[in-house]
Structure 1
Amino acid sequence: MNTTAEHQPLQPEFRLLVLLVSIGFFMQGLDSSIVNTALPAMAKDLNENPLEMHSVIVAYVLAMAACIPLSGWLADRFGARNTYFMAIVIFTLASLGCGMSTSVNELLVYRVIQGIGGALLLPVGRLAMLKIIPRSQFLAAMSLMSLAGLIGPMIGPTLGGWIVEVTTWHWIFLINIPMGILGVFMTIKAMPNITEPTVRLFDFKGFILLIIGMIGLSLGVENFSDPRYSYWSCILLIVIGIGSSLLYALHAHTHENALFRSRLFTNKIYAIGILGNFFARLGGNSMPFILPLMLQVAFGFSPLVTGILMIPTIIGSLISKPIIRPIIQKFGYRNVLLINTLLVGICIASFAFSTAEVPIWLRTIHFLIFGILNSIQFVAMNTLTLKDLPQQDASSGNSFLSMIMMLSMSIGVALAGTLVNIFEDHFGAAQVTTAFHATLICLGLINIITALIFWNIPKETKD
């Protein structure tokens, strides 16, 4: 087959659609990262402890994880345009609610609603592109869209830091409103309302079991350090979460209409990839939360300086992109993931040696190395997980992976916040730096232990 025919440049009639989906991806990516550097300022304004503000991130990410399984069915049932339109409206109105919040509880409610809108933006937008844009131009379209997804997290921490210094934290949410209004009008113009002629019944029972499982696990971990909840109530939540997940596994095995059929996990590589993704991301995904908090609360850096210091991690991620595939082709998935998982764990733990006096150049190199290693980890895990799935399971397998990625981020941030609070109680408020250092060592050890999962990858597994 002719390669030039397979990968053609994007034609003008599809550019507006790609721009629209890129706006949604950008908004989602920006909102996942812009809050991290603003948490201490938000805590001060709302009279809260900055070490207990991780629920603001957890609420958003957990809502996204819970609603990802719903996205494809809604698009098929009500049409891509209607669903995407609804997603942007929900996201934009929730952003307005976040920006006008006067208490943490009010903010959490709107963050959950914002997460529901965010969960639909990328999957539905990607699905619309898949159905409308010819396959020969799809690679070009995805490349442009992915660029928008990189820009959001890249500018998020610095933009968040700058906003809270020149104005108030409310504007980190209010800046979504003009983009949301633009997206609403573009959706009407650029996206056809493609529906599927036959849509299977939605698996509400499985959906509820998954939601209970995710909420139970996340809240159980998050509430451990909250004096309002007893240890037994937290353990009960975790047990309910695990029990609901096991019930879903039984449901997936016996129910024809299950969101994610159990046959997905008969694929050994996929099962290893999912398990590895979940545990390896606990540390890696919590770093954009824990590092800005440490820089501000423990070291006394300003929000803007903190945001600027986070840029090397994103640059490291970009630098690593061209080298990942050649590395995997040369050494194989097993060797790359075994060694890199250990290196990421060591790198996370090594932040425990960081102090306010560390020279900027050394801190920059440290963050850059972490960005490179973490990017290699995520890309290698994702490609390993999906590479051997048969065509009929590709969509379902990808959705489940996306859900696990969000769930791991939710639990990872909750775990990091909980550990900092537990260690602060243990060492005393005057030893907050020690509390952060102990937390980073624990998160690094989790990553190191995760290497045992990747030990099970067959040695001959290649790209």
Structure 2
Amino acid sequence: MTTPTPSRWLPLLMAISIFMQMLDATILNTALPTIAADLGVSPLNMQSAVISYALTVALLIPASGYLADRFGTKKTFIIALVVFMLGSLLCAVSTNLPMLVGARIIQGMGGAIIMPVPRLAILKVYEKERLITAINYAVTPALIGPILGPLVGGYLVQYASWHWIFLINIPFGILGILFAIPIMPDVYGKITRFDTGGFLLIAGMATGLTLALEIAPHGEPVAAALLFLLALAGGIAYLRHTRRCDYPLFPISLILVRTFRIGLAGNLVSRLGIGAMPFLLPLFYQLALSYDASSAGWMMVPTVVGTIIAKPFTKAVIARYGYRRITITNTQLLGLMMMAVALPPPGTPAWVWVVLLFITGFGNSLQFTAMNTLAIADLRPDQNSAGNSLLAVNQQLATGFGIAIGALLLKTLSLPAVSHGDLYIAFRYTFAAVGLITFTSSAVFARLHSQDGERLLEGNSHPGK
């Protein structure tokens, strides 16, 4: 089959899809207290609406390439947009929390596909010398979305209604379809067998662990323990499955690569704390500090600004100090900064949190770049695709687990605090706990050798978040 001539507007299509994904991933957190009040539930029980989306995206990422190869990039992308818009509409008309969670799962089914498929199309139809320019242009919205998400969410909730944080996706989805029809090349790939058994085992493992964290604070320790054991059994079963399967979803050979194994584990553990913060902070501002939704949205901006400003310096800093020293020291500093959020007493000026969160965002940028590039440093070319896919799944799962752990800690610690009418103390202890989780994850990176990652620093790597 002849490779289609690439449209110069294809990166714009990828930019729209990334913007939709990033906006949707960040717009909800600021609106959680308002949605909770409308649905008649506690804001401390709203984490399932966030986790369900992250978990669905994580589990379906490995299927995106298979679907695009089998059904073509154009049809797969357009159908994914339709599913995403349908999920958004169902979210907007939800009248209770279970309905909202179900709608978020449908939304996540589309969201998992709309970002990787345009990227796959660009990789297949663009010449190598044009790839970097095209990808860099397309990923710019990834930096804008996290800034606009909390702000747009806050203002829509305060001056319109929470339903619009989901309805706003529909015009973007329609725009994406209108662009996709003439622009998106309908590229097919070599169809390989999909590891359905491995997929189901991983999905069961991740779902079981998430549910265990969800029900633990509701007085169901036996059920939570059983779910945890089932998740553990699913993980063991998957390892055995990979030895028998000729086309495993994630080959066991990946975790035999030492730097990949350490990078993957460090990614997971450190993001348990980091991933909890975007969920906890809007609740903290609105429930403990009595900020309105738009002000809470503005208070989320410093972290993202710090992340963006750090981007140009990350490679030079890593080259100066090396991967081992950076990942250990920066992880510890990040943990300390997250714990420092718990220190200011009530009535502290807002600029104190602005400074703390800006520094945290700067550290996040350095951390993500170091962890992600280190993980793929020693993979063979034939391992790159599966390795990158597993890394992406790991990041999404870690974010979901981080939110679940943050919510678990907050609900557990808020029980005595609520009786005294003081959620502020519960949040302080929760920030200290998630910061400690991130701090202790530096022990994972201590297993690195001082020369690990040097090959990347000699070349021209283009690390991402």
**Counterparts of 2:446 and 2:7, CA distance in 1:** 44
- List per-residue Cα deviations over 1:151-185 (Å, max 9, x = no partner): 11111001100000111100000000011011112
1:346-361 paired onto structure 2 within 5 Å: 346-361=336-351
**Counterparts of 2:267 and 2:416, CA distance in 1:** 31
Aligned counterpart, 2:193: 201
Aligned counterpart, 1:287: 277
1:59-458 paired onto structure 2 within 5 Å: 59-196=52-189, 198-227=190-219, 230-429=220-419, 430-458=421-449
Structure 1 263/328 Cα, relative in aligned 2: closer, same or farther at 3 Å?
Answer: same
Aligned counterpart, 2:9: 16
**Counterparts of 2:417 and 2:166, CA distance in 1:** 35
- Displacement of 1:426 after TM fit? 3.4
Q: TM-score, normalised by structure 1?
A: 0.95
Please provide the CA RMSD for this pair: 1.2
Q: In structure 2, what residue type is equivalent to 1:412?
A: G
Q: Is the 8 A contact 2:56 2:112 kept in 1?
A: yes
- Displacement of 1:42 after TM fit? 0.5
Q: Is the 8 A contact 1:14 1:133 kept in 2?
A: no
**Counterparts of 1:85 and 1:457, CA distance in 2:** 43
Aligned counterpart, 2:460: none
**Counterparts of 2:60 and 2:346, CA distance in 1:** 40
**Counterparts of 1:119 and 1:252, CA distance in 2:** 24
**Counterparts of 2:402 and 2:183, CA distance in 1:** 37
- List per-residue Cα deviations over 1:184-231 (Å, max 9, x = no partner): 1211111121112x311111100000100110111111221235xx11
**Counterparts of 2:8 and 2:337, CA distance in 1:** 41
Where do 5+ consecutive residues of structure 1 fail to align?
1-11
Q: Is the 8 A contact 2:150 2:298 kept in 1?
A: yes
**Counterparts of 2:346 and 2:159, CA distance in 1:** 24
**Counterparts of 1:244 and 1:183, CA distance in 2:** 38
- Displacement of 1:262 after TM fit? 0.6
- Displacement of 1:361 after TM fit? 2.2
Which SS does the other structure have where 2:166 is aligned? helix
Which SS does the other structure have where 1:243 is aligned? helix
Q: Could you tell which deviates more after superposition, 232-241 or 14-23? A: 14-23
- List per-residue Cα deviations over 1:264-320 (Å, max 9, x = no partner): 111100000000000000111111110111111111011100111111111100111
**Counterparts of 1:115 and 1:152, CA distance in 2:** 17
- List per-residue Cα deviations over 1:344-366 (Å, max 9, x = no partner): 11111111113441212222111
- Displacement of 1:14 after TM fit? 3.1
Q: Is the 8 A contact 2:6 2:126 kept in 1?
A: no
Which SS does the other structure have where 1:368 is aligned? helix
**Counterparts of 2:90 and 2:105, CA distance in 1:** 11
Matching of residue 53 in structure 1 with residue 53 in structure 2: no
Q: Could you tell which deviates more after superposition, 232-241 or 249-258? A: 249-258
Which SS does the other structure have where 1:301 is aligned? coil
**Counterparts of 1:408 and 1:340, CA distance in 2:** 18
Aligned counterpart, 1:3: none
Aligned counterpart, 1:9: none
Q: Is the 8 A contact 2:6 2:185 kept in 1?
A: no
Q: In structure 2, what residue type is equivalent to 1:182?
A: L
- List per-residue Cα deviations over 1:324-370 (Å, max 9, x = no partner): 10111111100000000000111111111134412122221111001
Q: Is the 8 A contact 1:273 1:382 kept in 2?
A: yes
**Counterparts of 1:289 and 1:356, CA distance in 2:** 20
**Counterparts of 1:286 and 1:223, CA distance in 2:** 17
Q: Percent identity?
A: 37
Aligned residues: 449
Structure 1 287/143 Cα, relative in aligned 2: closer, same or farther at 3 Å?
Answer: same
**Counterparts of 1:154 and 1:396, CA distance in 2:** 31
Q: Is the 8 A contact 2:330 2:363 kept in 1?
A: yes
Where do 5+ consecutive residues of structure 2 fail to align?
458-465
Give 2:34's match in structure 1, choosing from 29, 41, 46: 41
**Counterparts of 1:185 and 1:140, CA distance in 2:** 24
- List per-residue Cα deviations over 1:397-435 (Å, max 9, x = no partner): 000000000000011001101110001113334121111
**Counterparts of 2:95 and 2:18, CA distance in 1:** 28
- List per-residue Cα deviations over 1:120-147 (Å, max 9, x = no partner): 1111121111001111111011111111
Which SS does the other structure have where 2:422 is aligned? helix
Q: Is the 8 A contact 1:299 1:355 kept in 2?
A: no
**Counterparts of 1:243 and 1:302, CA distance in 2:** 45
**Which segments of structure 1 move beyond 4 Å, counting only runs of 4 or more?**
none
**Counterparts of 2:377 and 2:426, CA distance in 1:** 40
Q: Is the 8 A contact 2:343 2:428 kept in 1?
A: yes
Matching of residue 459 in structure 1 with residue 450 in structure 2: yes
Q: In structure 2, what residue type is equivalent to 1:209?
A: L
Q: TM-score, normalised by structure 2?
A: 0.95
Which SS does the other structure have where 2:40 is aligned? coil
Aligned counterpart, 2:22: 29
Q: Is the 8 A contact 2:285 2:296 kept in 1?
A: yes
Q: Is the 8 A contact 2:254 2:260 kept in 1?
A: yes
Q: Is the 8 A contact 1:97 1:110 kept in 2?
A: yes
**Counterparts of 1:406 and 1:354, CA distance in 2:** 31
